[in-house]
Structure 1
Amino acid sequence: MTITTEEAGMTAAVQLEDPGAAHPAYDFSRPAQLGRESTRQLEAAFESFARLWSSQLTAKIRLRTHLVLEGVELVSYQEYADTLPSTTAMVAGSFAGREEPCVVQFGLDSALLWVVQMMGGKGTSMPEGRTFTPIELALVRNLMEGTLDHLGASLGALLPGDPVFSAVHYNPQYMQVISGAAAVIVARYTMRLGDTESRATVMLPASAVVDRLAASGPESGAPHSADITAIQVRATPLELTLRLAPLTIGAGEVLDLSPGDLLRLPHPETTPYELVAGRTPIARATPGSRGSRLTCMITSIPEETP
């Protein structure tokens, strides 16, 4: 038999030499990603909120407003904060019995345009962004109390309660009410105010939403049992390899190999091959064929040892 590799035989699938290529290391410093169904459920809720918020702003500031949801993601708070301007409007909403707030974020220039419009002015362009005066803050608070009501109505049972206005923060890096490593769900919007365009986001603490999201999902009613686990394990695909006993040779001999060279294998002709899953031996088998397909016949299965 002529071979050019250390191990030879018939494989039911390509054996992975590097398990890490198929199963990359999990980064515990980053939160896990949302499932497809969970993402769709959140997108539907945030799109509902966009419609309610658009209608509220249009009615309150007398300027046609349109919001478009760009996407929903699960990131750490620090990653979220790094994407925001160093100075911006972050309206925090608190939940009864919880320390982590939700946040509705938008540009200070957008908010000042709202104030101009609510005071009867006519904003032809975005004002220069700055922190609010007491009167401006009162107007923005009144507006955002209604916005938080719309957020609670849109997300419903996904939230631990109705969010209540608590404060306005101007610097995302100095917002001390949530840890930088905490996982948060972020919805990003494009906001169009008349002829001007800006960005807005909504942040929810993942700890307050993920469990409720799972409980309200399409598979939430499926009971977990040992039988279901066994079925899932049995349906898990495994890659099988039928292999000979390995041959160990020197690196220099490998470099000198060329087509036509013969290598004497240490595997006896009458000994069955080893059937392995990954790198774990599971049986002994002899090779054969059926029609044009190669086969193997199980000859023995090693007994499990406790």
Structure 2
Amino acid sequence: MIASVRLDEAAARFAEYDFGRPAQLGRESTRHLEAAFESFARLWSSQLTAKIRVRAHLALESVDLIAYEEYAQSLPGTTAMVTGVFEGRDESCVVQFSLESALLWVVQMMGGRTTSPPESRTFTPIELALVRNIMEGTFEHLHASLGSLLPSEPKYTAVQYNPQYMQVISAGAAVIVARYTMRLGDVESTATVMLPASTVVDRLAATGTDPSAEHTPQQTIDQVRSTPLELTLRLAPLTIGAGEVLDLAPGDLLRLPHAETAPFELVSGDVPIARATPGSRGSRLTCKITNITEETH
């Protein structure tokens, strides 16, 4: 029973490790990416507000490192996926949003007004031209926000509608996905930005934001040396019955098994550190180390 309880507690405390995708982003790398993607959210919001004349707001929800296949499966069956290509590279990036949101952009840009998103459908040639005009500026903002993390400014290439049929990168390749909540007036939807990890991770390490890039054994030693420990000066323990403890009263005397001339034990938690004799310096109590306890295994 004790063993099962401990297993349940461990399962609740520690997240499951997925051996299918062992790659992970470092804490500093994640923070750097989150700051960059939040900057992009502000720029994209301003661009949409100016273009479609409806107040737009984007809130970053998460930044994850996953396989492209997992990303594609998380998207709706029909959606707008705008691809951008980097100069001199085969991998593409993707900015994805709902077709309803994009059609709402078009209605507003053409001078129309609507209180609800239009019915989802693919773009007409005129609608596609308007969406392309917006997305070319969006890719500029993406490059401005991520800066040196991207090899170059992505250039608009195409719009795809079915994520299951669009293969811009191999299914098992790692990608970085930023997920947003997009609000246009009173209409709320979701949007994502996908970047091939191969174009970003190495550049993250090169910027020195990832601790593993500069970590040295001396840093570990320095960290251990600066860790605070609580020390206790302890007498030899006394064992008495529970009944005697219940009968204790002010004024009772307990005979301790600790010899008057024997040094006390200096411990951290329950681990003996040294032996020491008590003393004083001015108004403060002190202890003088007499010998260090040697570990035996």
TM-score greater than 0.5 by the shorter chain = yes
The residue aligned with 1:145 is 136
How many angstroms apart in 2 are the aligned matches of 1:74 and 1:159?
Answer: 16
The residue aligned with 2:55 is 64
* Alignment map for 1:191-210 (pairs within 5 Å): 191-210=182-201
| 2:162 pairs with 1:171 | yes
| Cα deviation, residue 33, structure 1 | 1.6
The residue aligned with 1:291 is 265
Change (3 A) 1:28 1:97: farther
Change (3 A) 1:72 1:139: same
Change (3 A) 1:110 1:72: same
The residue aligned with 1:118 is 109
TM (normalized to structure 1)? 0.66
Higher relative CO (Cα under 8 Å, sequence separation at least 6) belongs to: 1
* Alignment map for 1:182-221 (pairs within 5 Å): 182-218=173-209
Change (3 A) 1:46 1:25: closer
Change (3 A) 1:31 1:149: farther
**Aligned partners of 2:30 and 2:63 also within 8 Å:** yes
Letter in 2 for 1:84: L
Structure 1 unaligned segments of length 5 or more: list them: 1-20, 237-288, 302-306
The residue aligned with 2:3 is none
| 2:78 pairs with 1:103 | no
**Aligned partners of 2:26 and 2:211 also within 8 Å:** no
**Aligned partners of 2:64 and 2:178 also within 8 Å:** yes
| Cα deviation, residue 128, structure 1 | 0.8
| Cα deviation, residue 119, structure 1 | 1.0
| 2:36 pairs with 1:45 | yes
| Cα deviation, residue 219, structure 1 | 5.9
Query: Which of 109, 127, 131 lines up with 2:118 in the alignment?
Result: 127
Query: Which of 77, 89, 97 lines up with 1:86 in the alignment?
Result: 77
The residue aligned with 2:25 is 34
How many angstroms apart in 2 are the aligned matches of 1:210 and 1:82?
Answer: 23
| 2:28 pairs with 1:54 | no
| Cα deviation, residue 291, structure 1 | 3.1
| Cα deviation, residue 235, structure 1 | 8.2
Q: Deviations over 1:79-125 (max 9, x none)?
A: 11111101000000100111111110000000001011111111221
Task: Report the number of matched residues.
Answer: 227
Letter in 2 for 1:103: V
Letter in 2 for 1:174: Y
Q: Deviations over 1:112-152 (max 9, x none)?
A: 01011111111221001111111111111111000000000
The residue aligned with 1:3 is none
Calculate percent identity across the aligned residue pairs. 69
How many angstroms apart in 2 are the aligned matches of 1:110 and 1:200?
Answer: 10
| Cα deviation, residue 68, structure 1 | 0.8
Letter in 1 for 2:75: L
* Alignment map for 1:151-162 (pairs within 5 Å): 151-162=142-153
**Aligned partners of 1:152 and 1:162 also within 8 Å:** yes
How many angstroms apart in 1 are the aligned matches of 2:213 and 2:165?
Answer: 43
Change (3 A) 1:120 1:214: same
How many angstroms apart in 2 are the aligned matches of 1:151 and 1:168?
Answer: 17
**Aligned partners of 1:31 and 1:75 also within 8 Å:** no
The residue aligned with 2:5 is none
Question: Secondary structure, in 3 states, of the residue corresponding to 1:162?
Answer: coil
**Aligned partners of 2:208 and 2:214 also within 8 Å:** no
Q: Deviations over 1:152-206 (max 9, x none)?
A: 0000001111110011111111112211111111111111111111111111111
* Alignment map for 1:269-280 (pairs within 5 Å): none
How many angstroms apart in 1 are the aligned matches of 2:212 and 2:218?
Answer: 19
